[in-house]
């Protein structure tokens, strides 16, 4: 289950630093000048990068610095426009933000082995984790995968500062991460990974055949949705009022709740951010999000209403 703050605040872009040809870092401070909330490694924030365009970005700056948050954003010309809007933000721009929120927590343990895997701009999510691991004296290593070394943010700095702990897998140079070998060697100590879906899927697949292997991942792109378990309409009961909302097959639970006038919060609306997480009181859920772990899905204590559906005729939600 995610740890989150839905407090909305205004942030001002106070600095803008190109890190590579495609990645820009933005430093953001509270517009009212007050200290920003504390956050933990793996946390992200929702930023409204243009009117009505909200995106989630991992915090990747200094954990102790409450005067600014830092995010780094990959420019994706073929994307849905959020990254282009973010790249166009100038110093002095004020934007709305929500969070921080974390679905991807990591607690360093001195002396314990831990492995971080980053694919491309996924490095932003693991950067604060490896700083914490290094500070705590954990036995950590980073595997940083990218298409081309010159386009991998912070790669030279990381390699220079941490030496042999940092393994760079540069596809253009023919170096690809052997996921199975890594999971066999380091999986039982825990692997924290953020990057493209094929990399994360490969880690999960490899972990399935290594007893005791643990893989924790952060998705920023939605999973491909399989056919729903329950294909017909179903009902959602709002526990506080006893009202019942019917959810038709082509409508999400979130959309049905919104049409009914229920109070809801949402951000990505594609199952990746955790904002719409809602407590489930009764009924089996067809979990289709990228936030909950397999064991959380099995516990069935909450659901992401933007993509997950009922696996039975009626759900009762804590709304």
- Which residues of the chain form contacts with ligand FES (CB under 6 A)? 266-269, 271-276, 289, 291, 304, 306
Report the residue number, 101 or 151, with the smaller CB distance to ligand FES: 101
**Nearest approach, Cβ of residue 268 and ligand FES (Å):** 4
b/e per residue, 186-204, with b = 16+ CB within 10 A?
bbebbbbbbbbbebbebbb
Report the residue number, 2 or 20, with the smaller CB distance to ligand FES: 2
**Nearest approach, Cβ of residue 221 and ligand FES (Å):** 12
**Nearest approach, Cβ of residue 172 and ligand FES (Å):** 34
Report the residue number, 9 or 269, with the smaller CB distance to ligand FES: 269
Q: Provide the edge-to-edge strand list for the sheet that holds 113-119.
A: 166-170, 139-146, 113-119, 191-194, 215-218
**Nearest approach, Cβ of residue 300 and ligand FES (Å):** 17
**Nearest approach, Cβ of residue 112 and ligand FES (Å):** 31
23 and 87 Cβ atoms separated by less than 8 Å: no
Report the residue number, 123 or 257, with the smaller CB distance to ligand FES: 257
**Nearest approach, Cβ of residue 230 and ligand FES (Å):** 19
Report the residue number, 171 or 259, with the smaller CB distance to ligand FES: 259
- According to the 3-state scheme, what is the secondary structure of the chain? CCEECCCEEEEEEEEEEECCCCEEEEEEEECCCCCCCCCCCCCEEEEEEECCEEEEEECCCCCCCCCCEEEEEECCCCCCCHHHHHHCCCCCCEEEEEEEEECCCCCCCCCCEEEEEEEHHHHHHHHHHHHHHHHHCCEEEEEEEECCHHHCCCHHHHHHHHHHHEEEEEHHHCCCCCHHHHHHHHHHHCEEEECCHHHHHHHHHHHHCCCCCCEEEECCCCCCCCCCCCCCCEEEEECCCCCEEEECCCCCHHHHHHHHCCCCCCCCCCCCCCCCEEEEEECCEECCCCCCCHHHHHHCCEEECCCCEECCCEEEECC
**Nearest approach, Cβ of residue 306 and ligand FES (Å):** 3
Report the residue number, 146 or 274, with the smaller CB distance to ligand FES: 274
**Nearest approach, Cβ of residue 7 and ligand FES (Å):** 17
Report the residue number, 143 or 309, with the smaller CB distance to ligand FES: 309
Report the residue number, 95 or 291, with the smaller CB distance to ligand FES: 291
């Amino acid at each position: 289950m995610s740890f989150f703050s839905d407090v909305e605040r205004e942030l001002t872009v106070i600095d803008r630093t190109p890190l590579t040809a495609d990645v820009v870092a933005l430093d953001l401070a509270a517009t009212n000048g007050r200290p920003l909330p504390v956050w933990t490694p793996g946390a992200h924030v929702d930023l409204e990068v243009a009117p009505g365009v909200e995106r989630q970005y991992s915090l990747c700056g200094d954990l102790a610095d409450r005067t600014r948050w830092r995010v780094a954003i990959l420019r994706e010309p073929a994307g849905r426009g959020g990254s282009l809007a973010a790249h166009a933000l100038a110093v002095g721009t004020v934007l709305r933000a929500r969070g921080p929120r974390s679905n991807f927590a990591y607690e360093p343990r001195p002396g314990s082995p831990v492995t971080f895997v980053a694919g491309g701009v996924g490095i932003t999510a693991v950067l604060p984790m490896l700083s914490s691991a290094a500070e705590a004296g954990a036995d950590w290593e980073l595997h940083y995968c990218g298409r081309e070394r010159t386009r991998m943010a912070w790669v030279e700095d990381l390699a220079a500062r941490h030496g042999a702990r940092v393994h760079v897998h540069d596809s253009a140079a023919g170096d690809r991460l052997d996921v199975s070998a890594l999971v066999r060697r380091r999986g039982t100590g825990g692997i924290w990974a953020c990057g493209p879906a094929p990399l994360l899927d490969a880690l999960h697949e490899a972990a399935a055949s290594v007893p005791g292997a643990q893989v924790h991942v952060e998705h920023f792109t939605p999973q491909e949705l399989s056919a729903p378990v329950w294909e017909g309409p179903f009902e959602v009961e709002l526990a506080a009022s006893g009202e019942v909302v019917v959810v038709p097959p082509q409508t999400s639970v979130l959309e049905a709740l919104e049409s009914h006038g229920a109070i809801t919060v949402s951000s990505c609306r594609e199952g990746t951010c955790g904002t719409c997480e809602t407590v489930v009181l009764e009924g089996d859920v067809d979990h289709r999000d990228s936030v909950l772990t397999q064991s959380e899905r099995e516990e069935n204590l909450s659901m992401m209403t933007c993509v997950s559906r009922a696996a039975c005729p009626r759900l009762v939600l804590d709304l």
